A = this chain, B = another copy of it.
Amino acid sequence: MAHSSAHLDPARNGAPTTTSLRYELLTLGDELLLGLTANAHLTWIGAQLGRRGVQLQRNTTVTDEAEAIVALVRESWARADVIITTGGLGPTCDDRTREAVAAVLGQKLVFDPQIEQAIRARFARFQRVPTANNLKQAWRFERGDVLPNGNGTAPGLWVEQDGKILIMLPGPPNELQPMFTEQVIPRLAALGKLADHEAYIQIRSIGVGESALETMFECTFSRHPGLGIAFCAHQGQVDCRISSPDGRYGMEKLRAIASECAALLGDNLLCFGHDSLAQVVADQLKLQGRTLAVAEASTGGLLANAFAELCGACKFFQGGIVISNNEAKTLLLECPECLLKQHGAVSAECAVAMASGVAEKLGSDYGLAVTGFSGPCTGAGENPVGGIFIGLHTPAGVWAKQLSYPGPRAAVKKRAINDAIDWLRREALKESRRIAAPSVN
């Protein structure tokens, strides 16, 4: 757990690649511990720092009790170089972070008329007057800076003391995120506390199990002692990250090792880096000048959203149809009633009718459909829980596939979506090859 003093590792390839600083994130709030709100700040801030060569060393969530916060800040202050806190800066009685941090740092809180003014101005813009508790947010550390909040009333706070940095951010994501990217990142970078890119290479694979993947890469990895290796499996996809904790391999070398792994993966390679499966498919389709439409009967809009949320989605994604019952299948997709009656709404025949139906309806080249039971709550039927059919309509033909997963509803949905999109990816790959070498097939 020991770490060297605060500075960036010297660059091995011209630019600094990593930092030896110890960063910790303290996320405050009973609502996180009671599972009422997801700890999205860890994911978001962790990723922002990761892109700048920093791996958070620890994230701790504690209750809103003042003693719990004081104890945590004390521990963390003794251990870390840079501490980021989120939450507990709000106007209500359970917001106690400011006072707790002041106690640990031996700082005085002072009332800042400039913050008060900003709060009043913000309320005035919405034709409202701040209540007394809002003005609690106008207190700041005597020796520290204020990070103005363009999207809310609680400003962030910045303290440098004893060679360490403590940054306090408001809890709401729409306030925290712009403050972090616009103020915190540039300031940390200016102080030399961030690198300019990631410290690892990520290889995303799909269709290979975690242990099989490790076995596949073993021979390559064993030739590189000291390589940092980590695997992360999620719903059919396994990511492998390689890094050089002791700095013996530069980014160029890491890239070469990653390429060797990629060659072993073949079509099971999704990408290097962080692109989602849907993004990879989107890039393929845009390159081919092809379009896509989706129809879904058990994933409730999540399949459409995988594509719709991408930048520039309208360039290839025509839209989607979310179906809740058989009537809608007939009304929206012109699935013949007799087909539904004969084969059932969860059948290969229905998946094919949905995929072709939505592609025709929206005039798209590809149509992707999911129909099935994603687990308890979908009503009893002759199909087993987790029984799913996916249908795929492509310029080369239309097919269906049956899948079956155990596990909770949300996992089944995610898995079905991943498998459906991966099928599309593999067929689009074939299509690309057909285009590139028309005489071969």
CB neighbours (8 Å) of A302 from chain B are 301, 305
Among A293-339, those with CB < 8 Å from B are 294, 300-305, 307-314, 317-325, 327-328, 331-332
Which residues from B are CB-within-8-Å of A30? 55, 230, 241
Q: Mark A86-97, 1 if CB is under 8 A from B, else 0.
A: 000011111000
Contact indicator A362/B62 (Cβ below 8 Å): no
Pick the contact of A232: B31, B40, B61, B173 (CB < 8 A).
B31
Choose, from A63-71, A161-169, A428-436, the stretch at the interface. Answer: A63-71
Interface pick from A106-114, A128-136, A247-255: A128-136
For residue A280, which residues in chain B have a CB less than 8 angstroms away from its CB? none
Take A231-B92, A319-B322 as given contacts and tell me if A407 and B305 are in contact as well, using a CB distance cutoff of 8 Å: no
Distance in Å: Cβ of A245 to nearest Cβ of chain B:
9
Stretch at the interface among A9-17, A46-54, A394-402: A46-54
Query: Which residue of B55, B132, B215, B308 contacts A322 across the interface (Cβ within 8 Å)?
Result: B308
CA distance A274 to B34 in the complex (A): 12
Further contacts, 15 of them, CB under 8 A, given A38-B40, A301-B302, A320-B322: A30-B230, A32-B46, A33-B59, A35-B45, A36-B274, A91-B210, A91-B214, A130-B211, A134-B211, A150-B406, A174-B406, A301-B320, A312-B379, A314-B379, A319-B332
**A363 interface hit (Cβ, 8 Å):** yes
B321 touches A321 (CB 8 A): yes
Interface residue A408 (Cβ < 8 Å from any Cβ of B): yes
Do A331 and B363 contact each other (CB < 8 Å), given the known contacts A42-B33, A304-B322?
A: yes
Expressed in whole angstroms, the Cα–Cα distance for A398 and B36 within the complex equals 35
Residue A287 at the chain B interface, CB threshold 8 Å: no
A71 touching B1 in the complex, CB below 8 Å, given contacts A33-B46, A33-B56, A61-B42: yes
Contacts of A274 in B (CB 8 A): 36
Contacts of A31 in B (CB 8 A): 230, 232, 239
Question: Taking the complex as formed, is A233 at the interface, i.e. its CB lies under 8 A from any CB of chain B?
Answer: yes
Given known A331-B361, A361-B331, A379-B314, contact A50–B32 (CB-CB < 8 A): no
CB-contact partner of A35 in B43, B214, B310, B318, under 8 A: B43
Contacts of A239 on B, CB cut-off 8 Å? 31, 36
Interface CB pairs A-B, < 8 A, 18:
A1-B68, A32-B43, A33-B46, A33-B56, A33-B57, A34-B46, A35-B42, A35-B49, A131-B214, A133-B215, A173-B411, A174-B408, A174-B411, A300-B304, A301-B302, A301-B308, A319-B325, A321-B332
Inter-chain contact B35/A47, CB cutoff 8 Å? yes
Shortest C-beta distance, A384 to chain B (Å), equals 15
| Cβ of A39 under 8 Å from chain B | yes
A212 at the interface (CB under 8 A from B): yes
**A-B pairs, 7 with minimum CB distance:** A300-B308, A35-B47, A174-B407, A301-B301, A35-B46, A301-B304, A301-B305
Inside 8 A of A34's CB, which chain B residues have their CB? 46-47, 50, 55-56, 241
Residue pair A92, B301 in contact (C-beta under 8 Å) = no
Would you call B43 and A39 a contact (CB within 8 A)? yes
Determine the residue in chain B with the shortest Cβ distance to A274: B36
Residues in chain B near residue A241, CB distance under 8 A: 30, 34
Q: Tell me the minimal C-beta distance from A441 to chain B in angstroms.
A: 29
| Candidates B33, B35, B58, B361; contact of A44 at CB < 8 Å | B35
Q: Are B233 and A90 in contact (CB under 8 A)?
A: yes
A49 to B30 Cα, complex, angstroms: 13
**Which residues of chain B are near A35, meaning CB under 8 Å?**
42-50
Q: Give the distance in Å from the alpha carbon of A150 to the alpha carbon of B407 in the complex.
A: 9
Let me know if A143 is at the binding interface, CB within 8 A: no
Closest chain B residue to A95 by CB distance? B231
A50, B325: Cα distance in complex, Å: 35
- Give the contacting residue for A42; candidates B32, B45, B174, B332; CB below 8 A: B32
